[in-house]
Structure 1
Amino acid sequence: MRKEPRQQRSRHMVERIVAAGQLVLSRDGYARFATTRVADEAAISPGSLYQYFRDKDELLTVLMERFWTETGDRVTASLADRFTDPPERLIPDAVEALLSAMEYDSQLLRVVVEEVPPRYSEAHLHALRRRIHDLGSAYLAGRAPGERSGATRSWVIVAAMEALSVRWVLERPPIPRELLIEELTALVTNYMNGTPTL
C-alpha cells in the first residue's frame, strides 16, 4: 500500500517522483521504465522512492491515474461554462478541447496507448469516459430528435471522438487541425440530427 503523504514536504516528494516518472515513461518508453531511472531523474535514492511507492507497478498505476485524470480535467475545464451554448457552438469547442487535451503531451499519450499494458489504465480511462459521457448525456437530454436516449447518443459520440482524436494526434495524417475540427463537428451534428436506421 502506497504511503499517503501527510506533510507538505512529503506531498512535494510524491509530486517530484510522479513528474520524474512521467518524464522517464515518455522519454524511455514502457519497456525501459524502471524505478531506478525514475529515482535518478528525481535526483533521489531508490530507497526514498520506495518510501512512497512499493514497486514499479504501483508507480505506473499512479502515473496512469494522473495522466487520465489530468486529461479529463483539461477537457472539462475548457467546456465548464459552455454547456448552455447551442450545439453549433458547443460541438466545435468540445472537439477543440479534446484535441488540445490529447496533444498536451502527445509523446506520453503514444506510450500510454501503444506500450503500457491496459491493466494499468483501464479503470482510470473508464472513469474519464464516464465523466465525459455523463456531461454529454446531460447536455443531450431533450436536445436531439428521435427516440434515442441521450445516454446512448453520448456513448457513441464520446467513443467516436476519442478514437478519432487519438488517431489524429498519434498518426498525424495530412489533415489540418481546422479541417479535422470541421469534419468531426459535421459528424457529430449529423448524428445528433439524423434519423436512426434499423
Structure 2
Amino acid sequence: MARKSLTKPRKMASQKRSRATVDALVEATARILVKEGFDKASTNRIAEAAGVSVGSLYQYFPTKESLVAAVIERHQQEIMQTVRGELTGILAQPVEQAIRMLVTVAIKAHRVDPKLHRVVAEQIPRVGELEKLATFNRENYTLFMAYLAQHRDELRVEDLELASFVCVTTIEALTHNAVLHHSKMMSDEKMRALVDEASRLIIGYLKG
C-alpha cells in the first residue's frame, strides 16, 4: 500500500526570522507552480528559489506536497477574505440582488491570482487537499442555505440543501471556467453579461 503523502508542516514558525523563511518558501513554491508546474517543483528547486538551504526547508516542510498544501491554504485564505468582505449584509437583500452579488463575488474570487488558482486546481487531488480549493466551500454553502431559509416564502424550491448545492455548484462552475479558461474572450462587457445570464438562470430555478 502506497504511503500517504505528508502534507502537514513539520513545525510551525513562531519567530520573525523563521516566519520569513516559511513565507519565502511558500512564495517560491507558488512561483514555481505557476511557471513550471508541479512535477518540476522539487524541494531543491524550491529551496534555491527561496534563497534558503534544503536543510532549512526540511525543518518546516517534510515534502514538496506539504509546501503545495501551504500554498493552497494561503490562496484559500486570500479568496475567503474577498468573499467574506463582499457578502456582508447579503441576508437582508432581495433574491434578485443577492444572487447577482453572489455571482459577482465568485468572479472576483476567481480573479485572485488566477494563474495560481488554475495550477492549484489541477494539483489538489495529488496533495490530498481537495476540500480547500473550492471558492464556495462549506462556509458558503452554509451562508447560502441560511439565505434561502430566510427567504423561503419567496421561493418555489422545497429542499433547501439540494437547492443550495445546485446554485452554489452552478455559480462556481460558470465563474471558474469563465475566469480561468476563457479569460481572453471574456471582456468586462462579457463578464457583466455573464453576471446577468447566470443570475437569470439561478433566479429562474429558485423562483420558477
Change beyond 3 A, Cα 1:186–1:74: same
* Shift, 1:112, TM fit: 1.7
Q: Tell me which amino acid in the other structure corresponds to 2:202.
A: V
1:1-198 to 2 correspondences below 5 Å:
2-125=10-133, 129-143=137-151, 144-146=154-156, 148-172=158-182, 174-175=185-186, 176-194=190-208
- What is the DSSP-based 3-state SS (H/G/I as helix, E as strand, rest coil) of the residue aligned with 2:92? coil
Between 180-189 and 164-173, the greater mean CA deviation after superposition:
164-173
* Shift, 1:156, TM fit: 1.0
Query: Which whole-Å CA distance do the structure 2 matches of 1:114 and 1:185 have between them?
Result: 27
* Shift, 1:162, TM fit: 0.8
Between 140-149 and 113-122, the greater mean CA deviation after superposition:
113-122
* Shift, 1:180, TM fit: 0.6
Runs of 4+ off more than 6 Å:
none
Change beyond 3 A, Cα 1:81–1:190: same
Structure 2: state its 5+ residue gaps: 1-8
The CA RMSD measured in Å over matched residues stands at 2.1
Between 171-180 and 94-103, the greater mean CA deviation after superposition:
171-180
Aligned residue pairs, count: 194
> Does the Cα contact within 8 Å between 2:34 and 2:119 map onto a contact in 1?
yes
Query: Which whole-Å CA distance do the structure 1 matches of 2:170 and 2:137 have between them?
Result: 12
Query: Which whole-Å CA distance do the structure 1 matches of 2:135 and 2:86 have between them?
Result: 18
Change beyond 3 A, Cα 1:119–1:127: farther
- What is the DSSP-based 3-state SS (H/G/I as helix, E as strand, rest coil) of the residue aligned with 2:133? helix
> Does the Cα contact within 8 Å between 1:133 and 1:158 map onto a contact in 2?
yes
Query: Which whole-Å CA distance do the structure 2 matches of 1:56 and 1:107 have between them?
Result: 19
> Does the Cα contact within 8 Å between 1:138 and 1:150 map onto a contact in 2?
no
Query: Which whole-Å CA distance do the structure 2 matches of 1:38 and 1:102 have between them?
Result: 25
- What is the DSSP-based 3-state SS (H/G/I as helix, E as strand, rest coil) of the residue aligned with 1:51? helix
Q: Tell me which amino acid in the other structure corresponds to 1:155.
A: F
Q: Tell me which amino acid in the other structure corresponds to 2:167.
A: I
Query: Which whole-Å CA distance do the structure 2 matches of 1:160 and 1:90 have between them?
Result: 15
Q: Tell me which amino acid in the other structure corresponds to 1:172.
A: H
Change beyond 3 A, Cα 1:137–1:86: same
Structure 1: state its 5+ residue gaps: none
Query: Which whole-Å CA distance do the structure 2 matches of 1:157 and 1:17 have between them?
Result: 37
Q: TM-score, normalised by structure 1?
A: 0.87
Change beyond 3 A, Cα 1:177–1:84: same
Identical residues among aligned pairs (%): 32
Query: Which whole-Å CA distance do the structure 1 matches of 2:200 and 2:122 have between them?
Result: 29
